[in-house]
Structure 1
Amino acid sequence: MELFSKKRLVQAMIVATAASLAACGGDDDKTKKLTFAGVDAPATDSEKRAILASSATVGDKEFGGSYNTLARSGDVIDGVPFGLVVDQDGNAIQEEDGAERVTDANEHTSLLPINGRLFSVSQMETRPGAMFLFELNQASGTGALSVASMSQIDQSGVDGGWVHCAASVTPWTTHLASEEYEPDAKKLPTATEVAADGYSATQLTYYTENGLTWNPYYYGWNIEVAVETDAADADSEPSVELTKHYAMGRLAFELAYVMPDAKTAYMTDDGTNVGFYMFVADQENDLSAGTLYAAKWVQTSAEGVGAADLEWVSLGHASNADITDYVHGTNGKSKLTFEDIFDAVDPVDDACASGYTSISANGVGQECLKVKSGMEKVASRMETRRYAAMMGATTEFRKEEGVTYDSKRDVLYVAMSEVSKGMLDGDSKDTGGPNHIRLTEANKCGAVYQLDLAKDSSIGSDYVAQNMVGLVAGRPVSEDDPQVAGFEDNNSCHIDGIANPDNVTYMSGYDKLIIGEDTGSGHQNDVIWAYEFDEQQLIRIQTTPYGSETTSPYWYEDINGWAYLMSVVQHPYGESDGDKNTGNGEARAYTGYIGPFPAP
């Protein structure tokens, strides 16, 4: 898709603004008009060190225009450093030099209006994981948010946390956190292997002498965080309850997103040779039991970023109670290992022995597996991706990221950070698998897909995805699509297009799709975009400092008459351009928001 040049973008914005003002007297589809002014791509060193945020007009008034920081990593609030990583006893983990471990890996921050008060759960993408509970003040005249208090959330009751990536807010106002890049139980069965693994070893610092020891099956789940208060006492201390939902399966969760029926959830799986999943709960507002499905890509086009119809492969029904005893070795059940669940043999000349199923999942190459008798339900949850591949679902997606629901069009959007590897026809990652996705060329800048939804009585949901087609694709710089003058360096993806889309959110009421980036070489400065459906164009609405990642932009349509686009800026100078870090605190992460805007 062709995107605007800067001149054309300005012209389109003028037209859109005029249309917005004209529509304020009456709008047939009852969608208010919000027009972002947009910001230019950072060009100077000063701009590349800053957070630039767009203003927006609603009617004849202007809102926003700056990024509003709630807290930065390392800020000490109520005696606790924001970003502190603790062990299972709640004590600060020490770095080698004796300093407390404080992370700059700020991730998703939610807004949770509860009993007339406003809370926020903020999670860290670390090993061990960390979470914090904020109570926020909301200014009545302006909607501006500020921190009233903060405390560390104890995760010892759920075996600790692990790489909390994106999150969502359920229809019943709980925070649904993810655990990404689940440890491979085949590769890392004991602490001995973990200690030698550079990625996972830091998790061992979580354990103390209170009995908890390494188990790869402790991690890779959704964690629901419920904040409760006394409705009759505005000064009561909030309580926090954490639940790991074993019924929803174990993956490299980028995000689980619950649909408006409060039963159907879509779950994205980040990595190489991963799948796409749907969970349908037995009851509304309760994720503790239900049926899990994995998507099968039935290709209808190999052009561009591809298109497919989707079939849903049932992985069976389970409850949290069915699985937790096998994870923990409780109630007379054994604590299971990979070898308790599967028989595995090595392939010979890319073929598996009789009775074994050949799969390519997890990015580890071909595996030959057989589920042991009676272990089917356990395998479906504790080894969800491998089991889905064995059942015929597609495990060829690459870097599957955020997901959001468009209530106006009744469609889903899913971000794919890269279209590459197993998604290409005949790639080495297809060895051992069915090669469902057979695209003709890679797009290292990624894409956002649109999925039509429909009712499916056999599945028991009104929100079942039927297909998958590219909506917005990145633009790798080439002779046919050269870079804008002045941006030839440090941007392998076109400066006016998306680069490695990460999380997405739909601005209900204002009808815009928000796309956040997590890119290294694609763009030197990561961007949050607003996609305009009518014009089919992108407007740049936020940029981040050198080496940052935009994490989990999330839209809140109406909190006491104000709307917010939450936005976190993770690890400045951490992904690239570390040489530009002067050491004067600019590498601390930002947790905040764009806005506020009047509620639509």
Structure 2
Amino acid sequence: MKSRLVQAMMIAAAAAAVTGCGSDDDDDNNNIPATREISFAGVAAPATDAEKRAIFASTATVEDKTYGGEYRTFLRSGEVQDGKQFGQLIDKAGTVLKAEDGSVRISDSNEFTSILPVGKKLFSVSQFEDRPGAMFLMELNQDDNGVLSVKSLEQIDQSGVDGGWVHCAGSVTPWTTHLASEEYEPDASVQITGADAAENGYSAPMLDYYADISEWNPYYYGWNIEIAVDEAADVTSTKHYAMGRLAYELSYVMPDQKTVYMTDDGTNVGLYMFVADNAGDLTAGTTYAAVWKQTSAAGAGEAKLEWVSLGHATNAAMKDYVHGTNGKPKVKFADIFDAVEPESNVCPVGYTSINAGGNGQECLKVKAGMETVASRFETRRYAAMMGATTEFRKEEGVTFDSKRNKLYIAMSSVERGMEDFKKNGSAKNSYDIGGPNHIRLDSYNKCGTVYELDLFSVPSMGSQYVATTMKGLVSGRPVSEQDPQVAGFEDNNSCHIDGIANPDNVTYMSGYDKLIIGEDTGSGHQNDVIWAYDFEDKSLTRIQTTPYGAETTSPYWYPNINGWAYLTSVVQHPYGESDSDKDTGAGEARAYTGYIGPFPAVKQ
């Protein structure tokens, strides 16, 4: 194991030059410019009932030509293609699950969908944020005008990786594989058996995956899953135990093909970085957790970042502990930690006090010889024990700006552990007691913030992309007397209608130089929005709106797919997060998987 001492990463030297992924000398790129100007016309905030039921997408001007203007759908949940219903849930044996009324169980939690050029074919892996999780492989057609459509659909068998769990956001690796997440990992300290999971309303639906609930293992879930597709449409799925186990929102591989940023969704969570041993191979490497060294408490706050090493691990070694193979035990929480209750908020000698993952104060001691297992199976808890910051709230998407060499991370709401012994401005110790209280902001912002992080090369860590600072870039605007709501939008919009509300996933439009911000908001905005942020004038343009109660999941930018560029966009669970009374039952609640575009391509 490498040293677990906190490594100060305050880098004074100038950033090393870094390059984006892709090759400029590729024949297909010869006539494609590296940059283009784009101007979005924008769409209005939905005001009428009809507008609030629809999807609107902005037109865009590129080189005096107009593109976009409509949302193009691949498939909607429940839609039949090749005899399969998109979004159908299956058990371990591949049998379609049924609802109590005998109908097929269809998920309306469509999530990230990728576009994967493989040989002369074009594929998309589409994942569903459900329990059990579901994934589908689409082969796509692309016409001469760049318009995409579904050619075929297959359901991906996930039994080889113990099934899937709450597939939230995802990304595409530089080597063209689909990198999926598993969010809100089950708490192995309490959900030890299938019977324990059955008592938990969130985990219980997963038990339908098994023929026998005794198969349940909470450590099966909470990992990154890499999906590789070959030209014959054969799929290989790999759970990456070497990276760690979290409530993964998203993992994003940087252009060096080694550094991966991993965001952790929930209350009192952390920020993580994985550095692989070898480029293009996520099966072995070192995981790090961030330490927030606050330099300003104003607004969204500002900090220098340090990184704690959580040590090195491999998929192969950790997989043995998941399954109890090669002489290793099928590990349980009690095999990893001794845990006792604090007395008067103090842990006994020999135990470390932490506050991580919404569990409040815990007193833990790693059992002898189980340090590596703890670092991967209980990554957040172990990171807290090593001195990392576990006080972020609703940490969401992440993307890389190749022009400025910056990382952007969405924090859906800036509150609770990010305050100083407060909750929404009122005294509360639940989120800071027992922890280091690294983040101590003067105020909270329930409308959220997108943060920017400066990146530097740190050869000692084997990475060209180590984040060293973190500060707010753009924040939501809570409605107040000082910043009142626009007339006509006072109801159901607690965040200003012309600002972001609970940013969820973000993507950088390389070549066009815009930051795309998607929302996942309930009371912030009645209708969730995708925004384009302009770095020059710091303006926001509304480029897509969604129906009542929907969430904009996983906008993702593809700069060049056979000469065209695309912004994928998924509209999750319409009428599901709010305004369920507006659902007429005529199919409006089916989710949408699709894209905005096509646009003229730019070099990757």
TM-score, normalised by the number of residues in structure 1: 0.93
1:279-333 deviation per Cα after TM superposition (whole angstroms, max 9, x unaligned): 0000011000000000000000000010000000000000001100111011111
1:224-264 deviation per Cα after TM superposition (whole angstroms, max 9, x unaligned): 000012xxxxxxx4100000000000000000000000000
1:294 to 264, 280, 289: 289
Report the Cα distance in structure 2 between the residues aligned to 1:383 and 1:258, rounded to whole angstroms.
22
Per the TM alignment, residue 212 of structure 1 is displaced from its structure 2 partner at its CA by 7.4
Partner in structure 1 of residue 456 of structure 2: 454
Secondary structure of the residue aligned to 1:430 is coil
Partner in structure 2 of residue 17 of structure 1: none
Alignment check: 8 A CA contact 1:159 1:212 kept:
no
Partner in structure 2 of residue 311 of structure 1: 306
1:463 to 462, 465, 485: 465
Alignment check: 8 A CA contact 1:419 1:443 kept:
yes
1:115 to 115, 119, 133: 119
Partner in structure 2 of residue 431 of structure 1: 433
Secondary structure of the residue aligned to 1:381 is helix
Per the TM alignment, residue 577 of structure 1 is displaced from its structure 2 partner at its CA by 0.3
Per the TM alignment, residue 440 of structure 1 is displaced from its structure 2 partner at its CA by 1.2
Secondary structure of the residue aligned to 1:295 is strand
Report the Cα distance in structure 2 between the residues aligned to 1:414 and 1:280, rounded to whole angstroms.
18
Secondary structure of the residue aligned to 1:248 is coil
Corresponding position: 1:105 with 2:100:
no
Alignment check: 8 A CA contact 2:178 2:228 kept:
yes
Secondary structure of the residue aligned to 1:377 is helix
- 1:131-142 to structure 2, matched below 5 A, reads 131-140=135-144, 142=145
Partner in structure 1 of residue 20 of structure 2: none
Gaps of 5+ in 1: 1-28, 230-236
Partner in structure 1 of residue 191 of structure 2: 188
Secondary structure of the residue aligned to 1:325 is helix
Partner in structure 1 of residue 361 of structure 2: 366
Question: RMSD across aligned C-alpha pairs, in angstroms?
Answer: 0.9
Report the Cα distance in structure 2 between the residues aligned to 1:316 and 1:549, rounded to whole angstroms.
36
- Amino acid paired to 1:44: T
Report the Cα distance in structure 2 between the residues aligned to 1:438 and 1:346, rounded to whole angstroms.
26
Alignment check: 8 A CA contact 1:71 1:592 kept:
yes
1:164 to 160, 163, 167: 167
Secondary structure of the residue aligned to 1:339 is helix
Aligned residues: 563
TM-score, normalised by the number of residues in structure 2: 0.93
1:335 to 316, 330, 334: 330
Report the Cα distance in structure 2 between the residues aligned to 1:298 and 1:60, rounded to whole angstroms.
47
Secondary structure of the residue aligned to 1:386 is helix
1:250 to 245, 250, 261: 245
Report the Cα distance in structure 1 between the residues aligned to 2:328 and 2:459, rounded to whole angstroms.
36
| 1:30–1:123 CA distance, 2 compared to 1 (3 A) | closer
Partner in structure 1 of residue 236 of structure 2: 241
Per the TM alignment, residue 97 of structure 1 is displaced from its structure 2 partner at its CA by 1.4
Report the Cα distance in structure 1 between the residues aligned to 2:233 and 2:306, rounded to whole angstroms.
43
Partner in structure 2 of residue 375 of structure 1: 370
- Amino acid paired to 2:379: T
Alignment check: 8 A CA contact 2:91 2:210 kept:
yes
Partner in structure 2 of residue 596 of structure 1: 598
Partner in structure 1 of residue 71 of structure 2: 67
Alignment check: 8 A CA contact 1:37 1:56 kept:
yes
Identity of aligned residues (%): 72
Per the TM alignment, residue 30 of structure 1 is displaced from its structure 2 partner at its CA by 5.6
Partner in structure 2 of residue 57 of structure 1: 61
Partner in structure 1 of residue 320 of structure 2: 325
- 1:340-351 to structure 2, matched below 5 A, reads 340-351=335-346
1:204 to 201, 204, 207: 207
1:216 to 218, 223, 231: 218
- Amino acid paired to 1:87: D
Per the TM alignment, residue 95 of structure 1 is displaced from its structure 2 partner at its CA by 1.1
Alignment check: 8 A CA contact 2:532 2:541 kept:
yes
Report the Cα distance in structure 2 between the residues aligned to 1:595 and 1:30, rounded to whole angstroms.
18
Partner in structure 2 of residue 9 of structure 1: none
Report the Cα distance in structure 2 between the residues aligned to 1:213 and 1:241, rounded to whole angstroms.
23
Partner in structure 1 of residue 508 of structure 2: 506
1:106-136 deviation per Cα after TM superposition (whole angstroms, max 9, x unaligned): 0000000000110000000000000000000
- Runs of 4 or more above 3 Å deviation: none
Corresponding position: 1:148 with 2:143:
no
- Amino acid paired to 1:126: D
Per the TM alignment, residue 31 of structure 1 is displaced from its structure 2 partner at its CA by 2.6
Report the Cα distance in structure 2 between the residues aligned to 1:425 and 1:582, rounded to whole angstroms.
45
- Amino acid paired to 2:55: I
Secondary structure of the residue aligned to 1:504 is strand
1:386 to 374, 378, 381: 381
Partner in structure 2 of residue 24 of structure 1: none
Secondary structure of the residue aligned to 1:466 is strand
1:15-59 deviation per Cα after TM superposition (whole angstroms, max 9, x unaligned): xxxxxxxxxxxxxx9631010000010001110000010000001
Report the Cα distance in structure 2 between the residues aligned to 1:219 and 1:60, rounded to whole angstroms.
49
Alignment check: 8 A CA contact 1:113 1:173 kept:
yes
Secondary structure of the residue aligned to 1:247 is coil
Alignment check: 8 A CA contact 2:193 2:214 kept:
no
Secondary structure of the residue aligned to 1:321 is helix
- 1:7-86 to structure 2, matched below 5 A, reads 31-86=35-90
Alignment check: 8 A CA contact 1:103 1:126 kept:
yes
Alignment check: 8 A CA contact 1:268 1:400 kept:
yes
Report the Cα distance in structure 2 between the residues aligned to 1:493 and 1:116, rounded to whole angstroms.
46
Per the TM alignment, residue 460 of structure 1 is displaced from its structure 2 partner at its CA by 1.0
Partner in structure 2 of residue 527 of structure 1: 529
- Amino acid paired to 1:373: A
Secondary structure of the residue aligned to 1:393 is coil
Report the Cα distance in structure 2 between the residues aligned to 1:201 and 1:94, rounded to whole angstroms.
15
